[in-house]
Amino acid sequence: MWGKLSKAVLVSSLALSLVACSAADSEGTSSKYPENTITIVAPSGAGGGWDLTARAIAKTMNETKLVEKPITVENKPGGGGAVYMAQFATKEAKNDYALMVKSPPILINANKAEGNSAYGYKDTKPLAQLTRDYGAIVVQADSEFQSLQDVLDAIKADPTKVTLAGGSAPGSMDHLVGILPAFKFGIDPKSVKYVSYDGGGEAVAALLGNNADVIATDASTISEYVKSGDVRVLAVSSTERLEGVLSEVPTFKEEGIDAEFTIWRGLFGPKDMSDAAYDYWTEKLDKLVETDEWKAELERNGWQSEYRNAEDFTTYLEDQDKVIVELLTALDMQK
């Protein structure tokens, strides 16, 4: 009995000293957390931007031994990320072992009127922005459309004749990337026909199968299909031309459309993440972006590196939130 009690006292005093340690020295916490397998969730099907980012983080963290515990990646598709967001903000709010990769939809879904999500970035703990990517307007290789201008002219002439598809719900990112040029071109964004699929992979399938005329997707994921000669990219949403496979592709601006759209991707922890876990991840992510393995991953996926640590990322999100609200207001789709 006494033995048990003294053991309990010992354990609790140990725990106390660990907490004290974590305040003074973040190294001390890493010995306690993580104790289990960590899961990074990509709230979409496999093969999309979130999925690739989640897998790149998991792979590099494990390969460089920055994180010794295995990291698995899970796909939780649905509602342009809104389905898992609800779960992440509620069920997983205290689960230090569930992380999520997300991008502008976390802001868009929380701000738009139709099909909104009750949860936004404020229901998470932003850990870091890791990459940026851009939107791309893509057609089949033998499409009649030769330029973004052709597509816009066709939509303007008869919006019922052109089907735009994307891997996420109406009012979310792929949709915004697709109709942004149309809006700037003077087309009523609501008249543009948009079909949503579960993830970028399905959208590409729809394009290749002639079930969509144009798709809006991420510049990085489309490269493989450009290489194989199945599709052509008409324009990208960056401010300057991209490198690599898409270096020949003009930007929106070059095509006479005054618009740009950056797809940042970052890692989020649950809202009530413990301080130990939070410190652990901010420290590990700081180290991750410096490794050669991570740089190789960026290179291979055609991602532009853009690192913001937890603090900067949170500030950035606040600014971006305002930008998105402005954009949605212009499109008459704000909450």
Neighbours of 299 (CB within 10 A): 12
204 binds another protein (CB under 8 A): yes
Distance CA 233, CA 222 (A): 8
Reduced to 3 states (helix: H, G, I; strand: E, B; else coil), residue 244 is helix
**Ramachandran class of 241: left when φ > 0, alpha when ψ lies in -120 to 50, beta otherwise:** beta
Q: Report the nearest approach of another protein to the CB of residue 308 (Å).
A: 25
Please say whether the beta carbons of 137 and 148 come within 8 A: yes
End-to-end CA gap in the chain: 61
Using the rule CB under 8 A, give the single segment among 11-19, 88-96, 142-150, 327-335 that binds another protein. 88-96
198 binds another protein (CB under 8 A): yes
Using the rule CB under 8 A, give the single segment among 86-94, 263-271, 282-290, 303-311 that binds another protein. 86-94
Distance CA 121, CA 105 (A): 10
Structural Rg of the chain based on CA atoms: 22
Question: Tokens in use for 262?
Answer: 């950056």
66 binds another protein (CB under 8 A): no
171 binds another protein (CB under 8 A): yes
Degrees to nearest 5, angle at CA 271 with 269 and 274: 75
What track of x and - describes contact with another protein for positions 35 through 54 (by CB under 8 A)?
----------xxx---xx--
Please, which residue, 194 or 280, has the CB nearer to another protein?
194
Q: Residue type for 135, please?
A: G
206 binds another protein (CB under 8 A): yes
Q: Which of 162, 167, 133, 132 is nearest to 148 (CA)?
A: 162
Binder of another protein out of 22, 33, 55, 107 (CB under 8 A): 55
Please, which residue, 171 or 189, has the CB nearer to another protein?
171
208 binds another protein (CB under 8 A): yes
Distance CA 265, CA 245 (A): 21
CB proximity list for 6: less than 8 A, separation 6 or greater: none
Q: Which of 189, 254, 259, 203 is nearest to 231 (CA)?
A: 203
Reduced to 3 states (helix: H, G, I; strand: E, B; else coil), residue 97 is coil
Segment 220 to 239, residues that bind another protein, using CB under 8 A: 224-225, 227-228, 230
Question: Tokens in use for 218?
Answer: 């991420």
Please, which residue, 220 or 282, has the CB nearer to another protein?
220
Segment 97 to 156, residues that bind another protein, using CB under 8 A: 109, 114-118
Q: Report the nearest approach of another protein to the CB of residue 76 (Å).
A: 8
196 binds another protein (CB under 8 A): yes
The structure tokens 């899961």 sit at 39
Using the rule CB under 8 A, give the single segment among 132-140, 192-200, 268-276, 279-287 that binds another protein. 192-200
Q: Report the nearest approach of another protein to the CB of residue 300 (Å).
A: 6
Binder of another protein out of 21, 32, 62, 66 (CB under 8 A): 62
Question: Tokens in use for 119?
Answer: 């949860």
Please say whether the beta carbons of 85 and 119 come within 8 A: yes
Q: Report the nearest approach of another protein to the CB of residue 180 (Å).
A: 19
Using the rule CB under 8 A, give the single segment among 148-156, 193-201, 238-246, 313-321 that binds another protein. 193-201
321 binds another protein (CB under 8 A): no
Strands 124-140 and 231-236 turn out to be antiparallel
Q: Report the nearest approach of another protein to the CB of residue 140 (Å).
A: 11
- Contact residues toward another protein (CB under 8 A) are 45-47, 51-52, 55, 59, 62, 70-80, 82-84, 86-87, 89-91, 109, 114-118, 160, 163, 169-172, 193-198, 201-202, 204-206, 208-212, 224-225, 227-228, 230, 300
